């Protein structure tokens, strides 16, 4: 297991080791002691899974009061995963980073509290599995526009498939942010 600090403070790229043979592979998906030693110190309370088709973009979502840290992985297919700092007063407020997570690379992205999260599916189908440090609270569910020009994310798709909710999210300048 290796852990690499990402360009945004607190975001960590986790690279589990896979043991392969003719039968397939084995890997530890999560090991609390190893993750804590690697800088992921959150206690996770909820696991969630989603499945989406090519071109779907979900996000950018966060909870400003009951903030969630997330450990995101793609267990089938491939996604472009994005974290955006939405902590007002942070020196990296409004900055983003993106990385390809896939079934093939088995990488995981740890996104700390105070960050919005989103992803788009670049394979035909993708399944995303993620752990959160706080329970989902629909009354605290917030988001920002995927195409906010102030953030200027370089998504690998041009016309994403969006939920009705995500189509009407506010721009960062108008959003209730963290901190």
Tell me which residues are annotated as active site.
Answer: 61, 130
Q: 30 exposed, middle or buried (CB, 10 Å; 0-12, 13-18, 19+)?
A: middle
Sequence-ordered alpha helix ranges (H) in the chain: 32-37, 164-167
Classify each residue of 126-141 as buried b or exposed e, where b means 16 or more C-beta atoms within 10 Å of its C-beta.
bbbbbbbbbeeeeebe
Work out the number of other CB atoms within 10 angstroms of the CB of residue 60.
27
Element (DSSP H or E) covering residue 121: strand 115-121
């Amino acid at each position: 297991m290796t852990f690499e600090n990402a360009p945004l403070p607190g975001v960590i790229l986790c690279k589990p080791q896979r043991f392969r043979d003719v039968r397939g592979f084995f890997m530890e998906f999560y090991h609390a002691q190893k993750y804590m030693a690697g800088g992921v110190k959150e206690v996770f309370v909820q696991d969630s899974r989603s499945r989406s088709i090519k071109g779907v973009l979900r996000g950018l979502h966060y909870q400003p009061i009951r903030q969630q840290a997330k450990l995101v992985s793609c267990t089938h297919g491939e996604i472009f995963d994005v974290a955006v700092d939405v902590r007002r007063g942070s020196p990296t407020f409004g900055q983003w980073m993106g990385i390809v997570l896939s079934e093939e690379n088995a990488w995981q992205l740890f996104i700390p509290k105070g960050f919005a999260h989103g992803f788009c599916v670049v394979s035909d189908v993708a399944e995303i599995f993620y752990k959160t440090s706080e329970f989902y609270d629909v009354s605290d569910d917030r988001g920002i526009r995927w195409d906010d020009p102030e953030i200027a994310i370089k998504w690998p798709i041009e016309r994403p498939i969006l939920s009705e909710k995500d189509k009407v999210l506010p721009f960062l300048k108008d959003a209730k942010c963290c901190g």
